[in-house]
Amino acid sequence: MSNFSVISSILDNDFYKFTMQNAVLKLFPSVKARYELINRGKHFFPKDFANIMKETINIMSDLKLSDKEKIFLEKSCPYLDSSYLNFLKEYQYNPKEVSISQIGENIKIRIEGLWYRTILWEVPLMAIISELYYKLIGAKCVPEDTIISSTKEKLIFYKKLEVKIGEYGTRRRFSYKVQNLVLKVLTEEKLPFFIGTSNVHFSHIFSINPIGTQGHEWIMFHAAKYGLNIADRIAMENWLNIYKGKLGIILSDTYTSSIFFKNFNKKLSNFFKGIRHDSGDPIIFIKKTIKHYKKLGINPLEKIIVFSDNLTPKKVAYISSFCKKKIIPFFGIGTNFTNDVGLPTMNLVIKMVETFFDKKWISVVKLSNVKEKSTGKKNMLILARKNLHL
- The ranges assigned to domains in the chain are 15-139+346-368, 144-338
* Cβ neighbours of 381 (radius 10 Å): 17
Q: What dotted CATH number matches 144-338?
A: 3.20.140.10
Which residues, at least 6 apart from 179, have a Cβ–Cβ distance to it below 8 Å? 167, 169, 170, 173, 199, 202, 337, 338
Strand partners, 199: 14
Size of the chain in residues:
390
- The pLDDT assigned to 104 comes to 97
- The pLDDT assigned to 103 comes to 97
Cα three-residue angle 53-344-306, rounded to 5 degrees: 90
Burial class (CB in 10 A: 0-12, 13-18, 19+), 82: exposed
Could you tell me the fold of the domain covering 15-139+346-368?
nicotinate phosphoribosyltransferase (3.20.140)
Q: Do domains 15-139+346-368 and 144-338 have the same CATH topology?
A: yes
pLDDT by residue for the chain (390 residues), tens digit each?
444 568 999 999 999 999 999 999 999 999 999 999 999 999 999 999 999 999 999 999 999 999 999 999 999 999 999 999 999 999 999 999 999 999 999 999 999 999 999 999 999 999 999 999 999 999 999 999 999 999 999 999 999 999 999 999 999 999 999 999 999 999 998 889 999 999 999 999 999 999 999 999 999 999 999 999 999 999 999 999 999 989 999 999 999 999 999 999 999 999 999 999 999 999 999 999 999 999 999 999 999 999 999 999 999 999 999 999 999 999 999 999 999 999 999 999 999 999 999 999 999 999 999 888 899 988 889 988 998 988
Type of residue found at 134: Y
CA 110 to chain centre: 18
* Cβ neighbours of 120 (radius 10 Å): 22
- The pLDDT assigned to 5 comes to 61
CB 106 within 8 A of CB 44: yes
CB 346 within 8 A of CB 40: no
Which residues, at least 6 apart from 204, have a Cβ–Cβ distance to it below 8 Å? 9, 11, 68, 69, 72
- The pLDDT assigned to 131 comes to 96
- The pLDDT assigned to 357 comes to 96
Burial class (CB in 10 A: 0-12, 13-18, 19+), 177: middle
CA 318 to chain centre: 23
- The pLDDT assigned to 2 comes to 44
